[in-house]
C-alpha cells in the first residue's frame, strides 16, 4: 500500500515535469510577444532592453533551465505584462475568490439539483417531471454569457435589486452564483433522476415495500442512499473545478478570480503567468486524482491494487 | 483594429510661437456653472486592468487614464470651451535658449501626497530611471529627443551624461540633442512625470503594482486597486491646485465585456459609457438623462502594401488598389457608417500650429481619383499598366493577391467579403482573404510575409511628425519595407524646423510622395469616439489629446 502511494507520487512528479516542459515550449511557439499588446512597432533598443529585463533575450533552452531552477526553489517568477507582480502571489489572492463563488454555487446547485432530481423521479412522466426536465435542458443549453447578460438586465437594470458587476460585498455575489449554479442544477437533476429510477427498480426496494415499510421510509432509507453514490463520484471532479474559476462569469461580473487571469495571460503572452497558472491547475488535478483513487481504495475493496509479488 | 492604442502624449502646437519667450501660465480653472451636489464622486469603467502604475514601466492606455489623474507633470494639456489649453503643472514658468535645445523649467510649490515637496531632483531621477537599459521601459523611446538618450539607453554611456539636470531644488534643465518644435507638447507624456527615489528604493519591484505601492503628486491619489475588478482614486489634499479639484472619489470598475458596461450604464451604476455600435447609440440617444458626445479621434484605419512583394513593389499596382476603394462606400458597408472617410495619411484632427493639416494639404486621394477620371481612366488601367511594367501579362484574374486581416469575427468576415467584391468588380482581381488572430497577423507582417494588410494606428500627439515619421526608411513602423531617401530628408527637415509654414510645406511634400507618387499605404477612415455621459456630470474632457482627466469634474443634480 505505502509502496503504491510512493509510486503514485513518483508518477505525479513525472506528469508534472512533462506538463511544465510541454507548456513552456508550446507557449513560446505562439506568435506574438508580451509587447504585442502595444500594437505597434517599437525601436530595436527599447525592445532589446525589455527582453533583457525578463531574460527573454537568452537562448530558449537556457530560459527553460533557469525557469526549472527557480521552480525547484518554489519561485514561479514575476509577470511579464504586469511589472512587479509575483505569479505565486497572484494565484494565492485570486484562486480563493474563484473558489468562494464556485463553492457556494456548487453547494446550492447540487442541493437544488438533487432535490429536483428526486421530484422528477418520484413523479416520472407527470407534470413535475416535465418542469424539472425543462429547467434541466435550459440549464445545459443556454450559454453562460447569455444567461449572465439576461440576469444583469432583469435583476440589475430592470429591478435594480443587485449591482450589474463588482466584488467585495455579498450583494455582488448573488448574480454570478445564480449563473454558476444553473449548470450543476441541470446536471444533478438529470443525473439524480436517472440513478434514482435505477434504484427504484432494484429488488431490494421491492423487498422493502413488501415487508410493509412506508413509501417515505423506503425512499429515505433504501433509495436515496444508494442513488447518492454515483453523484458523489461526480462531485470530486467538480470540487477541483471550482478553484480554476469560470472565465466567462468572472469576466462579465468583474470578479478578480483566477479563471479570468488565466485566459487573459494567454491572450497577452504573459509567459510566466501562463506557466504558473498551468502548474497550479496541474498540481490541483493530479493531487485530486491521487486522493480520489486512495479514497476509492478505502471505500471499495474491489479496486485495491494487486498484492505485491514478493 | 480591435486594439486600443494608448493616448500617451499630447501636444498642442500652438506653443511653437511662444517657444523663444519665457512663458508663465495663469491658473484659470474652468467655471463651475451649477450648484455642486453634496457628495462629489464619479463611477466609470475601463475595459482592462492597468498593467502597472510604475511611471517607467506602464505601457497601456488604462494605466494612462489613472496616472493622468494621480500625477502631475511639468505642464498639463487641458481644454477650455472645447479648445485646447496649455495649463501649468509642476512648472509655473519655462523658457528655452535661442535655438530651442536647452529648456529650463521653474517648479512651483507642489507636494507629494505624503507632504514632501516635489523637486527637480524627482524629475532627474525619473528620467534617468526610464533611460537606464536595465529598467526595460517600454515607453523610453519617448525620451529620444533628450541629449545622449540613445547612448545611455544602449548602455554605452554613463547615466550622468543624460541631458537632464537639477540646477537647484526647484529648477530643472533639459538639454536636447537638436531643436525640436514639438518638445513642449511631448513632455505631457506620462514618461516625463517625476518619481520618488526613496519610495522606489524601499518598494523595489513592487512599485506601481498595488495601490499601497504608489505615491501621487496629482489631483488624486490611488486609494484601492483590486486587480481585474476595480481601481479607486480619492482627492489628494496636498496637491497644489486642490482648491479646484471638486471630486472626492473616482471609481473605475474593470468591465471587459460590453454587455456588462451597457447594462451598468442603463442601471445608473456608471456615469460614462462609450460605444461603437449603432444599435446602442440609437438606444442611448432615446434617453433624456444623458448627453451624447461624438468626436473624431486620431486613429486611422488603413490598408498597407508590402513594397518588397513581387506584385506590390510596383507603384501603379499599389495605386490601383488604393484608388479602387470608394471611401464613403466602405465606411457605410464595412464600418457601419461610424467613421469619417479619410483621403490623406494625416488624420483630420491633427494640426501644425493653428493650421489644420488636412485642410491645408487637401484630400490627396480624392484629387487622384478625380484626376484619373478626368483622363478617362480607371483604377484597372493603372493595374494593367503596372502588370505590363512587371511583365505579368494583362489578365488581372490570374494574379494571386492575398489580403491579410487581423481578426476572425463577423466584423472582419464582412470586411473581407466587401473587399473581395470591390476588388473583383473594380480591378477584376480574384482576391483571397487570410483571416488570423492579431498575434499571427502581426508576426507575418513583421516577417514581410504578406501582400496587403489592414490595421489601425492611433496618433500619440498632435503633430504630423507623429504619423508621417512611421514611414521613414530606418523606422519602417508600418513594416512596408518601403525606402525613399527624399521622403526621409523631408521628414527630418520638418522635425527640426521652427517655422510653422515651412514645416507644413515639408509635411505636405512628404505626404504627396507617400500617397500620390508611391501609394505605400491606403488610408481609409478615421475612427470616432461615441460617448454618453449622464447630464449631471460637468467639466469633463472631450478632446482627444487632452490630459485633463477628472481634475475639474463635478456633479450637479445627481
What predicted TM-score, i.e. pTM, was given to this entire model? 0.83
- Of all residues in chain B, the percent with pLDDT exceeding 90 is 66
Nearest CA to CA, how far is B336 from chain A (Å)?
23
CA distance B149 to B140: 9
- Per-residue cell: B75: 505642464
Would you call B253 and A165 a contact, using CB atoms and an 8 Å cutoff? yes
> Contact A100/A91 with Cβ under 8 angstroms?
no
Name the least confident of A11-25, A289-303, B494-508.
A289-303
Average pLDDT of B12-16? 33
For B405-409, what is the mean pLDDT? 87
Q: How many CB atoms lie within 10 A of CB B425?
A: 11
Cell of A297: 481504495
Please indicate if any CB of chain B lies within 8 Å of the CB of A30.
Answer: yes
Q: How confident is the model over B263-319, as pLDDT tens digits? A: 999 999 999 999 888 888 999 999 999 999 888 888 899 999 999 999 999 999 999
**A contacts of B195 (beta carbons < 8 Å):** none
Which range is least confidently modeled, A43-57, A231-245, B6-20, B438-452? Answer: B6-20
How many inter-chain contacts (A to B, CB under 8 Å) are there?
163
ipTM of the complex: 0.82
Interface contact flag, B138 A32, Cβ < 8 Å = no
**pLDDT value, residue B459:** 82
CB contacts, 8 Å: B205 with chain A? 78, 83-84
pLDDT of residue A304: 60
Contact A167 B230 (CB under 8 A): yes
Give the residue on B whose Cα is nearest the Cα of A85: B209
Give the three cell numbers for residue B121: 531632483
pLDDT tens digits, residue range B467-499?
A: 898 898 887 788 899 999 999 999 988 888 878
What mean pLDDT do residues A261-287 have?
88
pLDDT of the residue at B4: 33
In this complex, do A145 and B263 lie within 8 Å of one another by their Cβ atoms? Answer: no
Q: What does the alpha-carbon distance between residue A126 and residue A131 come to, in Å, rounded to a whole number?
A: 9
**A82·B52 Cβ contact <8 A:** yes
> CA of B148 to nearest chain A CA: how many angstroms apart?
14
The pLDDT assigned to A36 comes to: 65
Q: How many angstroms separate the CA of residue B454 from the nearest CA in chain A?
A: 13
Per-residue pLDDT at A169: 87
**How near does any CA of chain A get to the CA of B536, in Å?**
19
Work out the pLDDT band at A39, boundaries 50, 70, 90. Answer: low
pLDDT of residue B14: 32
Lowest mean pLDDT among A20-24, A159-163, A229-233, B227-231: A229-233
Q: Residue B160's pLDDT is what? A: 94
Residue A40: pLDDT band with limits 50, 70, 90 = low
Q: Give kind and range of the element (H or E) at residue B511.
A: helix B500-512
**Which residue does chain B place closest to A261, by CA atoms?**
B228
Mutation target to probe the B interface, by most B beta carbons within 10 A, among A47, A83, A248 is A83
**pLDDT at residue B11, as a whole number:** 31
Query: Within the 242-301 window of chain A, which residues sit less than 8 Å (CB to CB) from chain B?
Result: 250-257, 260-261, 264, 269
Cβ contact (<8 Å) for B257 and A156? no
- The stretch A262-272 carries a mean pLDDT of 85
Is the CB of B253 less than 8 angstroms away from the CB of A35? no
**In this complex, do A82 and B263 lie within 8 Å of one another by their Cβ atoms?**
no
Please tell me the distance from the alpha carbon of residue B195 to that of residue B217, in angstroms, as a whole number.
9
d(Cα A252, Cα A250) in Å, to the nearest integer?
6
As a whole-number percent, the residues of chain A with pLDDT over 90 amount to 16
Do B459 and B350 touch, CB atoms closer than 8 A?
yes
Probe site for chain A from B260, B445, B469 (most A CB atoms < 10 A):
B260
Q: In which residue are the cell numbers 507603384 written?
A: B315
Give tens-digit pLDDT for B206-216.
Answer: 999 999 999 99
Lowest-pLDDT choice from B333-347, B391-405, B439-453: B439-453
Residues 195-234 of A with CB under 8 A from B: none
B442 to A254: CB separation less than 8 angstroms, yes or no: no
**Residues 6+ away with beta carbon under 8 Å from A259:** A98, A244, A245, A246, A247, A249, A250
Label residues B490-502 b or e (16+ Cβ within 10 Å = b): bbebbbebeebee
> CA of A131, closest CA in chain B: separation in Å?
30
pLDDT tens digits for B426-437? 999 999 999 988
pLDDT range class, residue A307, cuts 50, 70, 90? low
Phi-psi bin for B429: left (phi > 0), alpha (psi -120 to 50), beta? beta
Mean pLDDT of B224-237: 94
Summarize pLDDT for A161-216 with one digit per residue, the tens: 999 888 888 889 999 999 989 888 888 888 888 888 888 888 888 888 888 878 78
- CA of A270: which chain B residue's CA is closest? B51
Give the chain A residue whose CA is nearest to the CA of B270: A164
pLDDT for res B226: 92
Query: Which of B52, B55, B136 is the best residue to mutate to test the A interface, defined by the most A CB atoms within 10 Å of its own CB?
Result: B136
Contacts of B137 in chain A (CB under 8 A): 46, 49-50
State which residue of chain B sits closest to A153, comparing Cα positions.
B263
Residues of B in contact with A167 (CB under 8 A): 226, 229-230
> Is A306's pLDDT higher than 90?
no
Mean pLDDT, rounded, for A49-74: 88
Contact A52 B255 (CB under 8 A): no
Q: Which residues of chain A have a CB within 8 Å of the CB of B475?
A: 41, 43
pLDDT digits (tens, 9 = 90+) for B131-166: 999 998 888 888 989 999 999 999 999 999 999 999
pLDDT of res. B372: 93
Give the pLDDT mean for A240-252.
81
Q: What is the mean pLDDT of residues B330-354?
A: 89
Contact predicate A273/A259, CB 8 Å:
no
Q: Are B353 and B497 in contact (CB under 8 A)?
A: no
Average pLDDT of the residues in B403-410: 89
Amino acid at each position: 500500500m505505502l509502496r503504491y502511494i510512493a509510486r503514485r507520487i513518483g508518477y505525479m512528479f513525472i506528469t508534472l515535469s512533462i506538463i511544465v516542459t510541454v507548456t513552456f515550449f508550446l507557449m513560446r511557439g505562439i506568435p506574438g510577444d508580451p509587447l504585442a499588446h502595444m500594437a505597434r512597432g517599437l525601436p530595436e533598443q527599447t525592445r532589446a532592453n525589455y527582453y533583457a529585463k525578463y531574460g527573454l533575450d537568452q537562448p530558449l533552452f537556457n530560459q527553460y533551465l533557469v525557469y526549472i531552477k527557480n521552480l525547484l526553489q518554489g519561485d514561479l517568477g514575476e509577470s511579464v505584462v504586469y511589472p512587479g507582480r509575483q505569479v505565486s502571489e497572484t494565484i494565492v489572492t485570486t484562486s480563493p475568490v474563484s473558489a468562494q463563488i464556485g463553492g457556494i454555487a456548487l453547494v446550492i446547485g447540487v442541493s437544488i439539483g438533487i432535490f429536483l432530481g428526486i421530484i422528477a423521479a418520484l413523479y416520472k412522466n407527470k407534470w413535475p417531471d416535465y418542469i424539472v426536465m425543462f429547467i434541466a435542458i435550459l440549464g445545459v443549453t443556454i450559454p453562460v454569457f447569455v444567461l449572465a447578460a439576461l440576469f444583469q438586465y432583469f435583476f440589475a437594470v430592470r429591478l435594480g435589486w443587485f449591482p450589474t458587476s463588482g466584488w467585495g460585498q455579498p450583494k455582488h455575489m448573488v448574480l454570478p452564483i445564480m449563473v454558476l449554479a444553473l449548470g450543476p442544477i441541470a446536471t444533478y437533476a438529470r443525473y439524480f433522476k436517472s440513478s434514482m429510477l435505477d434504484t427504484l427498480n432494484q429488488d431490494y426496494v421491492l423487498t422493502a415495500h413488501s415487508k410493509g415499510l412506508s413509501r417515505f421510509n423506503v425512499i429515505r432509507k433504501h433509495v436515496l442512499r444508494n442513488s447518492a453514490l454515483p453523484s458523489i463520484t461526480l462531485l470530486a471532479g467538480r470540487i477541483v473545478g471550482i478553484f480554476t474559476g469560470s472565465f466567462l462569469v468572472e469576466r462579465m461580473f468583474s470578479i478578480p478570480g483566477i479563471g479570468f487571469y488565466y485566459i487573459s495571460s494567454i491572450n497577452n503572452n504573459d509567459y510566466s503567468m501562463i506557466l504558473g497558472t498551468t502548474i497550479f491547475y496541474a498540481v490541483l488535478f493530479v493531487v485530486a486524482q491521487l486522493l480520489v483513487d486512495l479514497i476509492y481504495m478505502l471505500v471499495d475493496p474491489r479496486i485495491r491494487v494487486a498484492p505485491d509479488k514478493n | 483594429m480591435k486594439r486600443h492604442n494608448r493616448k500617451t502624449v499630447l501636444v498642442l502646437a500652438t506653443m511653437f510661437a511662444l517657444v523663444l519667450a519665457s512663458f508663465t501660465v495663469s491658473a484659470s480653472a474652468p467655471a463651475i456653472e451649477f450648484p455642486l451636489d453634496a457628495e462629489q464622486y464619479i463611477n466609470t469603467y475601463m475595459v482592462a486592468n492597468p498593467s502597472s502604475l510604475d511611471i517607467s514601466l506602464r505601457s497601456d492606455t488604462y494605466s494612462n487614464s489613472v496616472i493622468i489623474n494621480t500625477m502631475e507633470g511639468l505642464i498639463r494639456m487641458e481644454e477650455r470651451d472645447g479648445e485646447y489649453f496649455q495649463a501649468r503643472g509642476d512648472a509655473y514658468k519655462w523658457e528655452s535658449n535661442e535655438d530651442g535645445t536647452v529648456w529650463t523649467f521653474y517648479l512651483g510649490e507642489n507636494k507629494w501626497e505624503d507632504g514632501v515637496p516635489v523637486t527637480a531632483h524627482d524629475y532627474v531621477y525619473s528620467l534617468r530611471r526610464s533611460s537606464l537599459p536595465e529598467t526595460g521601459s517600454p515607453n523610453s523611446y519617448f525620451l529620444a529627443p533628450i541629449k545622449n538618450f540613445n547612448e545611455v539607453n544602449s548602455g554605452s554611456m554613463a547615466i550622468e551624461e543624460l541631458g537632464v539636470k537639477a540646477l537647484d531644488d526647484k529648477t530643472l534643465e533639459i538639454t536636447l540633442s537638436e531643436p525640436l518644435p514639438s518638445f513642449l507638447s511631448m513632455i505631457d507624456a506620462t514618461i516625463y512625470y517625476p518619481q520618488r527615489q526613496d519610495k522606489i528604493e524601499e518598494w523595489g519591484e513592487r512599485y506601481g503594482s498595488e495601490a499601497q505601492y504608489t505615491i501621487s503628486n496629482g489631483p488624486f491619489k490611488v486609494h484601492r486597486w483590486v486587480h481585474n475588478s476595480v481601481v479607486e482614486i480619492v482627492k489628494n489634499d496636498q496637491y497644489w491646485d486642490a482648491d479646484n479639484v471638486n471630486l472626492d472619489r473616482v471609481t473605475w470598475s474593470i468591465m471587459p465585456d460590453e454587455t456588462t458596461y451597457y447594462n451598468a450604464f442603463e442601471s445608473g451604476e456608471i456615469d460614462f459609457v462609450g460605444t461603437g455600435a449603432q444599435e446602442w447609440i440609437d438606444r442611448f440617444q432615446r434617453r433624456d438623462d444623458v448627453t451624447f458626445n461624438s468626436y473624431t479621434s486620431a486613429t486611422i484605419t488603413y490598408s498597407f502594401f508590402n513594397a518588397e512583394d513581387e506584385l506590390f513593389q510596383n507603384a501603379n499596382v499599389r495605386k490601383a488598389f488604393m484608388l479602387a476603394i470608394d471611401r464613403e462606400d466602405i465606411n457605410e458597408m464595412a464600418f457601419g457608417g461610424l467613421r469619417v472617410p479619410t483621403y490623406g495619411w494625416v488624420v483630420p484632427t491633427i494640426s501644425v500650429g493653428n493650421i489644420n493639416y488636412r485642410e491645408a494639404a487637401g484630400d490627396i486621394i480624392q484629387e487622384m481619383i478625380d484626376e484619373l477620371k478626368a483622363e478617362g481612366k480607371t483604377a484597372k488601367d493603372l493595374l494593367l499598366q503596372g502588370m505590363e511594367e512587371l511583365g505579368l501579362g494583362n489578365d488581372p484574374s490570374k494574379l494571386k493577391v492575398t489580403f491579410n486581416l487581423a481578426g476572425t469575427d463577423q466584423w472582419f468576415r464582412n470586411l473581407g467579403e466587401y473587399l473581395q467584391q470591390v476588388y473583383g468588380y473594380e480591378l477584376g482581381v480574384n482576391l483571397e482573404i487570410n483571416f488570423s488572430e492579431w498575434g499571427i497577423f502581426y508576426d507575418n507582417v513583421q516577417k514581410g510575409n504578406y501582400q496587403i494588410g489592414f490595421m489601425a494606428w492611433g496618433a500619440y500627439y498632435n503633430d504630423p511628425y507623429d504619423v508621417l515619421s512611421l514611414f521613414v526608411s530606418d523606422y519602417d513602423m508600418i513594416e512596408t519595407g518601403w525606402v525613399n531617401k527624399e521622403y526621409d530628408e523631408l521628414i527630418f527637415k520638418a522635425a527640426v524646423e521652427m517655422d510653422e509654414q515651412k514645416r507644413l510645406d515639408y509635411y505636405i511634400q512628404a505626404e504627396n510622395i507617400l500617397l500620390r507618387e508611391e501609394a505605400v499605404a491606403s488610408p481609409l477612415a478615421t475612427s470616432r469616439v461615441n460617448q454618453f455621459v449622464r447630464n449631471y456630470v460637468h467639466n469633463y474632457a472631450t478632446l482627444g489629446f487632452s490630459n485633463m482627466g477628472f481634475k475639474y469634474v463635478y456633479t450637479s443634480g445627481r
